[in-house]
Amino acid sequence: MTLNFKIILPCAIFIIFTACNTKHSREIDTQNAIDTIVFNNKSVRADSLPISNYTFLPLQTTEESLFAIISKLIHKNGKFYILDAHVTSALFIFSDKGEFLYKIDNKGRGFGQYITLNDFDVDEQGNVYISDMQSRKIIKFSNGVPQNEIQLPVPFLEFAINKNVSEDLVLFKTFGNKDVDYILSTYDQQESKNIKNTKSGPLI
């Protein structure tokens, strides 16, 4: 018993010592190394853009004229129309000189009011049309005052006043799904119906 213990003990100590001093090396796989792309963070100066002429126009700042994001901008009839669809959900109108004129901010469910303000357009007479996709309607404004509403039969994304035919016609882009397979329609305000549809398969 004593002899066996004397033999086993040195062997055990040798194994432990060897295990503690063995270095485990791990090879790095260089075959699947990740390529790194270095970008040149170079700022673009306004005077380097391919534009023949430009002007910086400061807009008048008041409590009523503050907006966060320019979702869409139209310059027409001597005015700037700026849509902030995501934060204030309002349309801001400025003069050519940057003077704040008024804004359309009619949230609600009554006449001339909207739940969401998604898009807008301006006709040749300066009337403003705004769209409420959730209510499926377009509201016509004159100098910020609602005149009438156009109720549309299907949900839509964007629209435009059809200036080539008649300003009584509105173009709007619809959702593509199993029920609605057209993506562009012409709507007659006077007859309250679609008069032309551009067919397409369902959008993904």
Domain ranges of the chain: 64-151, 153-204
Q: Which residues contact 41 (CB under 8 A, 6 or more apart)?
A: none
Instruction: Tell me which residue of 171, 160, 166 sits closest to 190, measured CA to CA.
Output: 166
C-alpha distances (whole Å) from 43 to each of 39, 40, 47, 56, 176 are: 12, 9, 12, 18, 40
**CATH code of the domain made up of 64-151:** 2.40.10.480
HSE-up of 60 (CA within 13 Å, CB side)? 17
> How many other C-beta atoms can be found within 10 angstroms of the C-beta atom of residue 95?
13
Q: Helix/strand/coil (H, E, C) string of 93-149?
A: EEECCCCEEEEECCECCCCCCECCCCEEEECCCCCEEEEECCCCEEEEEECCEEEEE
Average pLDDT of the chain is: 77
Decide if pLDDT at 167 tops 90. no
Can you give the pLDDT at residue 3?
A: 45
7-11, 77-81, 87-91, 113-117: which has the minimum mean pLDDT? 7-11
Return the bridge partners of 104, or none.
Answer: 91
CA angle (80 as vertex; 79, 84 as ends), nearest 5? 145
Spatial distance between the Cα atoms of 153 and 182, rounded to a whole number of angstroms: 13
93-107, 120-134, 138-152, 190-204: which has the minimum mean pLDDT? 190-204
Return the bridge partners of 188, or none.
Answer: 169, 193
- Which amino acid would we find at residue 80? F
Residue with tokens 């503690």: 20
30-39, 119-128, 148-157: which has the minimum mean pLDDT? 30-39
Q: Is 184 within 8 Å of 177 (Cβ atoms)?
A: no
